[in-house]
Structure 1
Amino acid sequence: MREFWPAWSREWLDLIVPATQVLLIGLAAWLLQRLARRLISRLGEHNLPPDVLAVVRRISGFLIYAAAILLVLERLGVSAAVLWTAFTGFAAVAAVAFFAVWSVLSNIFCSVLIFTTRPFRLYEHIEVLENGEKPGLKGRVVDINLIYTTLEEDSAEGQPANTLQIPNSLFFQRAVRRFRK
């Protein structure tokens, strides 16, 4: 086929053909996604919950566009073995990093839950119960941050108050007693 083209155009064909293929893959993915959305909308007419439809729409979009990206990368010369190696390497590093920061992420998530569900409020007196036999950690809440909740213990007159920094995740592992005035 290249014999029919002038010599100066062969260089451009090496760019035009892959670019056209990438555009066609993108167009096909877009049309396929529109078709999938239309089919999912028709399924919704049969009394499927909107939550389920939204999840199915997102999953179908992700799968279609992920496949399109893989096809584009293949057309651009990236081998599937290299992609798979990169993906598994990234997944392994991400898993190790996730487990390394699990306690920090847990405390941050629990702080968000404390701020939204409000099991206790600032300046309230609370006790984190250990079990039925032992007294728990008790005091007045003086600070709530992303990792810790700070309690000020009750102290004798004239004595400095001690503070306890309790990891936020502990409030969701133990029972909390609130003392109301």
Structure 2
Amino acid sequence: MLANLREQSPAWLQAWYVEATLLAQVVLILLAALLLRALMHRLISRLSRRYDLPIQITVSARRIAAFLIGFGALLMVLERLGVSGSVLWTAFTGFAAVAAIAFFAAWSVLTNLFCALLLLITRPFRLQDHIELLEGGDRPGLRGQVVDMNLIYVTLRETHPQGGESLLRIPNSLFFQRSTRRWKGEPEALPAPAGSGDRGSPLPSPAAGGGGSAVGFP
């Protein structure tokens, strides 16, 4: 059928038939990739709204899907342009080896990414919750209100007894190495550090009092 179409086409078009066919194939591949990317973005957006996923997870999923679709389209275009399969396979294995080395070099970052996924699934706390990351046993530790959760850190807002606030960023992996206490309601402000008040009176423990009761998570 294509041969008959080529014979029936004008003479000036027959000279450019191969190039025109190649260009049409490349355009079709790019259009299919763009359509697939739009469908994946819509699917990810629906899943994000349905399961109330954080915006960081949604954006990361969109970028990964766009990269995979674009990489696949690039391989198909190169194949249409005459690049041999062995060259493509060699390039792909080399890229995979470099990526594997980079992953091992950034192991701590990958650990935080995996822990972010576990925090999203298990939901030990949510945004605006008041939590405390215990140092060991029941000793007071890092404490504040959760104001942000991303792929690397959980950000807490600390309220100081002297007045003022500060932001504390805790790596996600740390929540799986220590016990976490979640407060129901807003607890009392952190006690003043030693030396700032009466040295003869003991400092109150955060676990002993507060505006709300505490729920412990191992």
Q: Normalising to structure 1: TM-score of the pair? A: 0.47
Higher helix content, 1 or 2: 1
Q: TM-score of the superposition, structure 2-length normalised? A: 0.40
